[in-house]
Structure 1
Amino acid sequence: MLAVRLTPGAAKDAIGGGWTDEKGAGWLCARVRAVPEKGRANSALIALLAKALDWPKSAILLESGDTNRLKRLRIRDGAHAAARLTAIIDIWVQAT
């Protein structure tokens, strides 16, 4: 499960940085150029993550946050590559 804070309508697509909510939970920050209409921003986020992780788009599912900027995504079949995926995500969170 991957927690992402999405900013739609950004100047460019990017992943990087972290954000902590009022409960202390950590969220990966992502920005997409797509607007938040008819699921366009959600689709753009999934495409961005799939490309950056070198993972099939069909294996990244939006679990919650369809109309919210805070998203939870499930990366299917990620167990066999958990160390690689975790390392990539950790680097993104450290980026500013």
Structure 2
Amino acid sequence: MPAWFEWKGEELLLSLRIQPRARRDEITGPHGGVLKVRITAPPVDGKANAHLLRYLARTFDVNRAQIEMVSGQTGRDKRVRIRSPGQLPESAAIQREPKDRT
């Protein structure tokens, strides 16, 4: 399994590298052991974190309350938990974990 995502039941844990002040919001794809995400917000007073979580909510088709920043509140490298994502964007290269057939 790639290093930038991990499934724990219905929860998806993502390792992200954020590029603030980008031209547009986008997931650029895997980059080393992380998923690179560009966002337009500046890294000031928590604006980038709030913007990132709203963007991920739209992108993964969940309510904002279903996303939690686990670590990295003050840096560019972050860990984010998404509960029951409604969709998986192609650019993220994430596969659903196979269900046990026991």
> TM-score range with shorter-chain normalisation?
0.7 to 0.9
Structure 2-normalised TM-score? 0.71
The answer to whether structure 1 residue 27 and structure 2 residue 34 are counterparts is yes
Pairing 1:1-96 to 2, within 5 Å after superposition: 1-20=13-32, 26-76=33-83, 78=84, 85=87, 88-89=88-89, 91-94=90-93
- Return the letter of the residue paired with 2:71: S
The structure with more helix, counted as a fraction of residues: 1
Select the structure of larger CA radius of gyration.
2
Q: CA deviation at 1:47?
A: 0.7
Please give the per-residue CA displacement for 1:52-71, whole angstroms capped at 9, x wherever unaligned: 11101111011100111011
- For these two proteins, the number of residue pairs brought into alignment is 81
Alpha-carbon RMSD: 1.6
- In 2, are the aligned partners of 1:28 and 1:92 still within 8 Å (CA)? no
Q: 4+ residue runs of structure 1 moved beyond 2 angstroms? A: none
Please give the per-residue CA displacement for 1:2-27, whole angstroms capped at 9, x wherever unaligned: 1111000111111121111xxxxx21
Task: Tell me how far apart the structure 1 counterparts of residues 28 and 62 of structure 2 sit (CA, whole Å).
Answer: 18
Structure 2: stretches of 5+ with no match in the other structure: 1-12, 94-102
Identity of aligned residues (%): 36
The structure with more strand, counted as a fraction of residues: 2
